[in-house]
Amino acid sequence: MRNIAFKHFLTRTSNLLFSNNAALRNRASMSWLAVGLMAISSLVMYSVAHTGLASRSAVLVWSAVALSGSGLMALLVRSGWTAGWRDPALALPQIIWAVTMSAFAYVIAGSAKGVVPGSVAIALLFAGLNLRAKQIIVLSFYAVGVYAVAMLFAFREQPAEGRQLELIYGLVMFNMLLGSMFLSLRLHQLRKRLHVQRKELIAALAANKELASRDPLTGLLNRRHMLELMQLEQRRCLRGVRTMLLVQMDLDHFKSINDTYGHSVGDQALKKFADVVRSNIRSSDVLCRWGGEEFVLLLSDASVDGAMQTLHRVRVAVSAAQIDASVPDLRLTVSIGMAEHIPGELIDTTLDRADQALYCAKRGGRNQVVQAQRPLPESGQHDLMPAAAYS
């Protein structure tokens, strides 16, 4: 019980500090990290003052100002007020603040000023992770300028014998700032490259998914993906949310087209058929290439009478379509079998009933639509009814 209460307390505290919104949480966590690093720098400066190397009052004032600035920006980010700003994480202001405060720390640290450069390096590391290349360069020159002023002030406060050491500190600091700038730019470049590669990977995965779910010739869904959609619709039918009609279509005498005119014309015929069907069905209906010259159509939330009219329109449009300009007299016909899915029935069973209706259309002379009747409850048998009005 105590463990549950403690976990609940941690969750509430975490949400209070960082938010449960993913984007805001990421920005707030980085801001609070900056506050934490500033607090550590304050402890370091206080230790310097405790040893007598720096003025305690100056360090206390510096710590209060530094932590107040960082804390205020962290609160602004966490509140979400900055969400619509150009820099919602306030990355640039926070880094400029850290560089500025470290320059002041350099002045008040006295002979212990060697503890300061590390905080500048961390600030510029944050720049490489959060800023653009131009911002990194501007920030680096700003850091050089601020530290030049700080070193000039410290140089004037030094006795004559200590000024040579101050110049050495200046050279070391300039070298560190220059190196940090180039490392930050390199880090930014790597981050940008990773971002581009991530976008390319997402695009490649989407393309692979599309290829895996599409027939390359007609652009229609393939059999595997169509089965997944059928299973989804089946569950909706079981809950009483939708109705589903499954339609089997087969191009008549398609083998003779390949044998007579060649496979290129046969491929053109398949693509033309797919285009004609898609232009005569609803956008919510799904057509797939089941295999060879066989196609399956899924009609959701459609009445049987409305579906029969649609299929008749498809049959007429297919027989009227010109397949290829090189063979203007070539025409296609299609035999169609339709079955209404019964909630609780297996998809394979519905498809089998539609397939039997299709073969009834074939035996009846082709180029017609046949509807499979619902199975009789007593015998489990079903009848096939040729749709004479649609032939």
pTM for the structure as a whole: 0.58
Phi-psi region of 239 (alpha: psi -120 to 50; beta: other; left: phi over 0): alpha
Find residue 221's DSSP bridge partners: 214, 288
Q: Please give the Cα distance from 260 to 341 (Å, whole number).
A: 38
- DSSP codes joined into one string, 24-49: HHHHHHHHHHHHHHHHHHHHHHHHHH
Q: How far is the CA of 135 from the CAs of 96, 141, 278, 284, in angstroms?
A: 11, 10, 52, 49
Q: Please give the Cα distance from 152 to 146 (Å, whole number).
A: 10
How do the pLDDT tens digits run along the chain, 391 residues long?
567 776 777 778 778 788 888 889 989 998 999 999 999 999 999 999 988 888 999 999 999 999 999 999 999 999 999 988 999 999 999 999 999 999 999 889 888 887 887 788 888 888 888 888 888 889 888 998 998 898 888 777 766 666 677 777 778 778 878 888 888 888 888 888 888 988 888 888 877 776 678 898 999 999 999 999 999 999 888 887 788 999 999 999 999 999 999 999 999 999 999 999 999 999 999 999 999 999 999 999 999 999 999 999 999 999 999 988 888 889 999 999 999 999 889 999 999 999 999 999 999 999 999 999 877 665 444 444 444 334 5
Do residues 31 and 82 touch, judged by C-beta distance below 8 A? no
Q: From the centroid of its chain, how far is CA 318?
A: 40
Q: How far is the CA of 322 from the CAs of 74, 271, 331, in angstroms?
A: 68, 12, 6
Q: Please give the Cα distance from 75 to 20 (Å, whole number).
A: 15
- The pLDDT of residue 376: 61
Three-state SS for 289?
Answer: strand
Question: Which domains does the chain possess?
Answer: 2-208 (no CATH), 223-390 (3.30.70.270)
- The pLDDT of residue 78: 92
- What are 72-112's pLDDT values in tens digits? 999 999 999 998 899 999 999 999 999 999 999 988 988 88
Structure tokens at 368: 């017609």
Do residues 361 and 345 touch, judged by C-beta distance below 8 A? no
Do residues 321 and 314 touch, judged by C-beta distance below 8 A? no
Q: Tell me, what amino acid is at 289?
A: R
- The pLDDT of residue 10: 74
- The pLDDT of residue 119: 80
- The pLDDT of residue 161: 63
- The pLDDT of residue 385: 44
